[in-house]
Structure formats: C-alpha cells, structure tokens
Structure 1
Amino acid sequence: MTKYIEEEPSDAGLMGAIANVGGVTPEALRLLLTLMAGYPIAAVYTKYIAEVPFKTLHHIFFFSCGAGLCYFNYGADTYHSLLGILVTYLLVLFLRHNIKLMIGLNFVFHMTYLLLGYFFTSSNEYDILWTMPHCILVLRMIGFGFDVSDGLKAPEALSNEQKETALPQVPSLLELLAFAYFPSGFLIGPQFPLRRYQKFINGDYRQHEGNVEAGMRRLATGVFYLIVCQVGLSFLPDSYFLTPEFAQVGFIKRIYLLGFWAKFCLYKYISCWLLTEGALIYIGFSYKGKDEHGQPDWSGCSNVKLILLETGNTMEHYVQSFNVNTNQWVGQYIYKRLRFLNNRTISYGAALGFLAIWHGYHSGYYMAFVMEYIVVTTEKQITNFYDKVVLPQYGHFLNNSDMYKVLYFVALKSYNIVFMGWCLAAFVFLKYERWIVVFGAVNYYGFIYLLIWMAFYQSYRHFTRKSSRSNEDVTGAKSKTQ
C-alpha cells in the first residue's frame, strides 16, 4: 500500500488531506467515492442516453465511465484489467470452436495473472490495490468464456441455468469492455453475465417502474450499515484482539466481543455491496421479475440477503446470505461443472478450494474456508442427530415448553454470534502469526468444540452401527430357527 501511495504523490496528498478528516485511508475514500459515483452516472444515463437507439453510444458511455473510475483509483495499473479483457477477447475470437482449449487457456491465464498480482503486491493487511477489482474481473472473464462455449452447444445439452447465460454470438470488443467496466459492478462486484447486460441495453428492463425509489432505499440502508460499521470498529478495532489486554478479559466476555467485532467487520463488506446494489437498482439494471404481489423485483444483483443474515442462527445461514453473487457464480461455473466427478463432497471441497485460491496466498483464507466446510458439516450432523434422536424421544415435551423455546433461541443466537467471531478471525487477520494469536487468546474454543463433537458423533455412529448389526444377527438367527 505504501508503494502505491508513493506512485501517486499529488493525488494521494489531496485524498490524504480529505481522508484524514474522515479518519479513513485515501484508498478507502477513493473506493467510497467510486461507489457513490454510480448514482450520478445512473441519473445521466437514464435522462440522456437510455432511449438512444444507437447501442454503440451506450457501450462507449459505460466503458468510459468505468475505465475512468478505475484510473481514478489505480492510475496506470488500470492496464492490468485492459490486458485481461483483451486476452480473453482474442482467445474467444480465435479458439471458441476448440472449447476445451479456449476454456482451459482462459482459466489458467486469469488465475495465474491474479496470483502473480497477489504475490507482488500483498502485505499483512487487506490492501485496496488493483488486485481488488481484478479478482472481480477474473470471475467475469472466466464466466464469459464458459458462456461463449455454452452458446456453441445444442440447447438440449444445456441446463436451464446455462440457457439463461449462453452466448450464441461473440460480442464486439467495445461491448465486452463496457460489460467488464460497468461502473457499478467492476470494483467490488456483483457478478452478472453478459446476457444481463445485453438485456439491459436492449431496454428489456426499462418498462418497469419503482427502480429509483428502491435504489434510494438501498442507498439509505448501505449508509446505515456503513455508520454502524465505523462506530462499532471504533470501539472494537482489529488491533485490540492482538493485545494482552484482550487475553486478560473474562472468557465469556472475550468470545462475545470477538463475535460482535466479526459482525462489524461483515458490515464493512455489506455496506459497500448495498451502496453498489442501490446504484444498479437506480439505473434499472437489477430487474429479476415480478414478486409475489405482482410488483417489480429489483433484487437481481443483490449480494447479501439482509433478513437471513440478521435473523439466521447458524454458520450456514451466513454462507447463504453473504456474498451471494460470488457463491452463485462458483456454484454455476465450478461446482456444477464438476458433476463428472460423481461426488458432491469432492465438488464442494474443490469449489471452496477455488474460492480460497482466488482470494490469495494468505493462510487465513485457507483456514477460514476449511473452518466453513467443517462447521457447516458439523451443523448438519447436529441437526440430523437432533431430528432423529432427540425429537423422537423428547419432542412432545420440548415443543410444549415455553422455557425450552426461550433457551433454544438464546443458545442458537449465542452460538451464531460467538462462532462467527471464531470463523472470521483468520479471514481478517490473514497471517498465521496474527490469527493464531487471536485463536490463543480465546483458548482455541472453536477447535475444542469441534473435536468434542467429532469424538461424540463418531462414537455414536460406531455404537449405532454395532447395535444395528447385532439386531440383524439376532433377527437372522430367529428366522433360521423358525
């Protein structure tokens, strides 16, 4: 990050002065200004360009706005994204009829380029560098390659999902640039296919009303979450959890503090996604169809399910409600395309492994995704045990006990808060030397809980299988005697 600031002395000085007033870094201020720029861009487009039948003008507008904002943030490093887009276009243009070669080269090029970028720019912090929008671009270009290949296949060979995104014709380079640099989507997402951009340009969404009001509501929600995040992290900064003072706090208080800190950290991402989504709704880009009341549904580019996030009580609820578009992208382009392995566990592990590599080299990413896999699996085991063992024996009493319902709710919400802190710590602190300090400060309670459950569940399954075999032997012996 220091290197980046030195390369832009004049701009950093101006941004630094303004950023100091708000207590943020210049890079973070540029990021926020870029997200907010989506709203005036949407207003200009809606008023002056939306109804112009000359599509090239639309592409020029979005490409110039997006590329200009990219240059505002990263200066000359904008060439990284331009190079990536150009390479993908050439691969698709000349190799699309050799599907496997085109997809393979496109995938390897983008992942290699991204990982090299991480290698030369990474530090101990989550840096706001050119690699941040580039990781969004990598998914967009890889998905574009798959969509082009799907467009060459017979319709009956495609799933319904693939039929929605397949591209029977290769777009122009200008259209691809406009799609890649779409102002409210290139910086932090969300992911969306080229077919959505084409439908938007064709005016398929313009006849629907309510987008401006819905976009402004999302903007207000994003601002609210941003304020909560800033206030919360001012009381619980990341650095506090690396101090001896935190380790000396009472254990129960420690794990709850870590849990609330994790919520505030999540709000940092959520607020940015909401600001971006609001601009996409405002411009009318995120139309999804009609809701149950027959009204336009503008959640087509939503990256967070707020209600599920705030009311959920398991880690799986967090997975389902957080970074939705990226998870959907991985599901569509990685997980489902590994069906030939005929093993969901391997496919799921491969998808999580891809996500970890896509994030970078830091051990914290890998620990976070390993924990996600283990914790979600553990939750499913606990649910299965509860449904098959506890409820059949005690369900009538438990379902009629108000006290139990209260305790059940409190226990789940406590687990939800406490374990979120454990699972997110490695993701935020990145380096082993840092996240292991946080794990040690809370007595490694996450590992202990998981090991205890693993021992109990495996013992339960062992004795259950043994008892089942004994019963089968007894039944078989009786049938032979008869």
Structure 2
Amino acid sequence: MTEFTEILPHKGLMDGVADAVGVPVEAFRLLLTIVAGYPLAAFYLKFIAIIHDKTVHHMFFAGCGAGLCYFNYGHDTYHSLVAILTTYFLVLFLRKKAQIFLAINFVFHMSYLLLGYFFTSSNDYDILWTMPHCILVLRMIGFGFDITDGLKEESELSKDQKETALKEPPSLLELFAFAYFPSGFLVGPQFPYRRYQAFVNGQFRQHEGSLNAGVRRFGAGAFYLIVCQVGLSYFPDSYFLTPEFAEVAFIKKIYYLGFWAKFSLYKYISCWLLTEGALICIGLTYKGEDKNGQPDWSGCSNVKLKLLESGNTMEHYVQSFNVNTNQWVGQYIYKRLKFLNNRTISYGAALGFLAVWHGYHSGYYMTFLMEYMVVSTEKQITRFYTKVVLPKWGHILNNSDIYKLLYFIVMKSYNICFMGWCLTAFVFLKWERWIVVYGAVNYYGFIFLILWAAFYHTHHYFFRSSSRRQAGEDEKIDDKSTENITEQEKKPEDKKSD
C-alpha cells in the first residue's frame, strides 16, 4: 500500500493505479472505457430509452462517446471531430455528385489516417488517437457509400446495399452520435448507420434476453483477458528476440511461437468480447430470430469463438477473427471491385487496403501477404487431398481410427505452429524485429510454402500431361472404334449390292 501511495503524487491517479496493476496507463484507460459501456447501457435503458424525443438519444450518445474519447486522448479528440465534420459537409455539398464525393471522402480519410501514422508511430502497437481513428475512417467511408447508394434505384442495388442505403442524410448531431457511439468507437465493431437508426427508433427494444446474452459475453471477455495476461507472462514478446529462444530445440520453438500467438490474439478478442457484451446489453446488436425462434444478438459480433477454437486452418482464423472489419472490407472494397471481373485481383486489392489501413510498418504487409499465400496453399492442399488422395486411399483411411487420430494431431499442430508464423510480423511490426524471429525458427514457414508450391505445380504439370496423353489415346481408340462400326455398318450393304 505504501508503494502504491508513493506513486500517486508523482504520476496522478490513473498512472498510479495502472502501475500498481502492472499495465500501461493507456491500456488501463482503454479497458476502463470499454467497461464503461455497461453502466452507460444501464443508464440509457433506465432513463433515456423511455424518452420519445430522439434528439435526447442522439445527444446522450454523442456526449458520452466524445467524453470517453477525451478521457483517453485529451486534446487529440479534435482529429475525430475534423473527420466527422468533413464528411458531413462533403455530404451537404457534394452528395449528388456521387463519384466526386466518394473519391474526395475516401482520399481525405485515408490520407489523414496515414499522416497520423507517419507522425505518431513507433516500434510497437500504439494506443494513441490513431487507434479509434482507424475505426472512424472505415465508418465514415462506409457511410459515404451508403449515402450514394441511397441515390440509386432499388433495382441497381445489391442485397447488402439495400439494407444499408440511406435515402436521406442524417443531421450533424445524428452523425456525431453514430460516430461516437459508446462501446463502438474505440475498437469497433463496424455497423452501418441504418442499424443505429433502427436501434434509436426502438425497433429492437421489444425483444428480451439482451441482458443475459450481454453478461455471458462479458464473462467470456473477462476469461480471455485473464488467459491472455497469464499466457503472455510466460511468453512475453521480448523473449522471442533473445538468444535464449534461438537456442531452444526447433520443435519446441515453433510450438512456443504458436502458443504465444494464441495468447496475443486473445488480447484483441477480449476487448471485442467486452465491447460486444456492452452493445448487447444496450440492445444494438439484434439480428433477428435464430433457428429456435429466440432473439439473435450476434449482429455486431467481431469474433466467432467456436470456429476460432475448433478450426484447423488459417482460413478458419480469417473467418472467425475481426469479423465485422472483414465484412466491411468485403462489402465496401471487394464487392465494389466487381467491375474488374477478377476475384484474385479484387481479393488482393482488399488485402492491400487492409494492410495500408493498418499503417506503414512492414509487418502488416508481410502478415497480409502470408494470409494470401497460406490460404491459397490450404486450398491447393484440400484439392489435392480430395481429388488425388481420397479416391485412391479413402476407403482405407476413413475406416482407420489410427489415421483419424493422426489427422487430428497433424491438423492441430499445423493450426498452432502456423498461427505463430503468420502473426509474428503483425506483432513485431519492424523488419529488423520480425526477421530475427523468423530466423530463430529457421524460416520454416517460407520453406514449407516453397516446397509445397514446387511439389504441387510439378505434380499438376505431369498429371495434366498424363491426362492429355491418356485423353489422346482414348480419342484414338474412339476413332478406331468409329471406323470399325462404320465398316460393320457398310458390310451388309456390300453384301446386298453383291
């Protein structure tokens, strides 16, 4: 207690508590802000939700969100104010010039964010104003697309666009409330203005069960936060840059790296779960009814826990991690590039956008390059397994309990070990750091991908050549058969003519 009180006069209350807990003060403020979503939800439902004047609702959300932003980032809150005001005035003056509006809105927000990264970034993942700002950038860009979609005829819109298009732009207060929505502006999730509008209009309020669902999500978030803290205490990031780690046996190293990656992921997952719990409690996340006719509160879910923990491939991680951001990129980037008529280019552009959105660090670009390469490799392995292995050996393998056990062990080992490889660059960010870790584990990810590519394309080449030769022989046989049939058909005629 003496040590705790000595800290307070020198650093202030928040710094003293954060030091006592053993976390950076920025992370402690972030956690408090996320958890604040729960009492705010209770206050809203008790006192604000019953008020018919929607202006009061908008003022509550705008005021609470802006206040929490100031609590975390002080005067740097002006960056988000500039972003929101810019989009509002662009809508006001350029809304009907859709292409010009979209271009200016997109370029402004991405340029502002990248300039922010340029002036503030360090060697670590920084908890600065740029963190909520990157969430705001996606929200304002998506909002811009929704505004222009509202100018189109219904027949011109896709199913997703029909659900998010805005026929009339909101007021400045409404836009502030949407942008600063508590428990939604700091770490996500992304949701369209139409969802916020439906929530404020009371369309979700008649459904019961949000409190229980929200508390369960809070419990899951707290559990993952504890596991993360305990796990990273055994495997801190700094350990993997040391000579001691490089001297560990190879198999141990790649498993250590894999478990460290899981614990590092839990840092993000715990924040998303705690945030989602608060959004469920306030009632924003209603998605309809599930197959049992019960309310489904997963409308803002940013992680699919069951798939995350039971999945065996990197594609499962992609599908279960940061779900709302991936859906946003799919709707506003990938699908908008449909005119290119090439899924590979559209997918590459979407991953490129995500890398740029994260910042300048080389680790982001390496991570998304690895995602593209590893997921593509997994699809090749799946095709090879189903088209080559199973047709020949499936009747034996599927009836073997030993094979099923080995298959489970191999897939889980792959899941753990390659997660470590893929997340390394994302966490260590700088080339001079993540390349040290790659070197310590003998670049096993690169080696595996290269060896598989060589095997797959070689097999594919010879298999196709063999198939072509076989097809040529079959064609010759067919030709001979046709000739024989023709001769047989001619013989009766010849006999008759004789």
Secondary structure of the equivalent of 1:117? Answer: helix
**Matched residue type, 2:444:** Y
Partner of 1:6: none
Partner of 1:133: 132
Partner of 2:65: 66
**Matched residue type, 1:50:** A
On the 8 A contact 1:228/1:264 being kept in 2, the answer is yes
Secondary structure of the equivalent of 1:185? Answer: coil
On the 8 A contact 1:144/1:193 being kept in 2, the answer is yes
Q: Take 1:473 and 1:273, find their aligned partners in 2: how far apart are those partners? A: 58
Q: Take 2:119 and 2:252, find their aligned partners in 1: how far apart are those partners? A: 39
On the 8 A contact 1:254/1:442 being kept in 2, the answer is yes
Corresponding position: 1:270 with 2:230: no
Partner of 1:21: 20
Q: Take 1:413 and 1:93, find their aligned partners in 2: how far apart are those partners? A: 53
Pairing of 1:471-482 with structure 2 (within 5 A): 471-481=470-480, 482=483
Aligned residues: 474
Q: Take 1:52 and 1:160, find their aligned partners in 2: how far apart are those partners? A: 33
Partner of 2:415: 416
On the 8 A contact 1:12/1:26 being kept in 2, the answer is no
What fraction of aligned residue pairs are identical, expressed as a percent?
A: 73
**Matched residue type, 1:373:** Y
Pairing of 1:72-83 with structure 2 (within 5 A): 72-83=71-82
Secondary structure of the equivalent of 1:292? Answer: coil
Deviates most, 428-437 or 86-95: 86-95
Q: Take 1:36 and 1:431, find their aligned partners in 2: how far apart are those partners? A: 32
Corresponding position: 1:208 with 2:207: yes
Partner of 1:190: 189
Secondary structure of the equivalent of 2:291? Answer: coil
Pairing of 1:455-466 with structure 2 (within 5 A): 455-466=454-465
On the 8 A contact 1:219/1:274 being kept in 2, the answer is yes
Q: Take 1:479 and 1:21, find their aligned partners in 2: how far apart are those partners? A: 84
Say which one has the larger Rg: 2
State the 1:476 CA deviation: 3.3
Partner of 1:99: 98
Q: Take 1:199 and 1:111, find their aligned partners in 2: how far apart are those partners? A: 28
Corresponding position: 1:178 with 2:177: yes
Partner of 1:4: none
State the 1:160 CA deviation: 1.0
Instruction: Give unpaired runs (5+ residues) of structure 1.
Output: 1-8
Structure 1 length-normalised TM: 0.97
Per-residue CA deviations over 1:116-155 (Å, capped at 9, x if unaligned) read 0000000000000000000000000000000000000000
On the 8 A contact 1:63/1:182 being kept in 2, the answer is yes
Q: Take 2:275 and 2:316, find their aligned partners in 1: how far apart are those partners? A: 23
Secondary structure of the equivalent of 2:175? Answer: helix
**Matched residue type, 1:474:** E
Partner of 1:294: 293
**Matched residue type, 2:300:** C
RMSD: 1.1
Deviates most, 467-476 or 289-298: 467-476
Q: Take 2:87 and 2:272, find their aligned partners in 1: how far apart are those partners? A: 27
Q: Take 1:144 and 1:25, find their aligned partners in 2: how far apart are those partners? A: 34
Deviates most, 339-348 or 461-470: 461-470
Instruction: Give unpaired runs (5+ residues) of structure 2.
Output: 1-7, 484-498
Q: Take 1:11 and 1:304, find their aligned partners in 2: how far apart are those partners? A: 40
On the 8 A contact 1:215/1:280 being kept in 2, the answer is yes
Partner of 2:441: 442
Partner of 2:166: 167
Distance of aligned partners of 1:381 and 1:394 in 2 relative to their CA distance in 1, 3 Å threshold: same
Q: Take 1:173 and 1:12, find their aligned partners in 2: how far apart are those partners? A: 38
State the 1:477 CA deviation: 3.4
Pairing of 1:274-423 with structure 2 (within 5 A): 274-423=273-422
Q: Take 2:142 and 2:313, find their aligned partners in 1: how far apart are those partners? A: 30
**Matched residue type, 2:250:** F
Distance of aligned partners of 1:347 and 1:227 in 2 relative to their CA distance in 1, 3 Å threshold: same
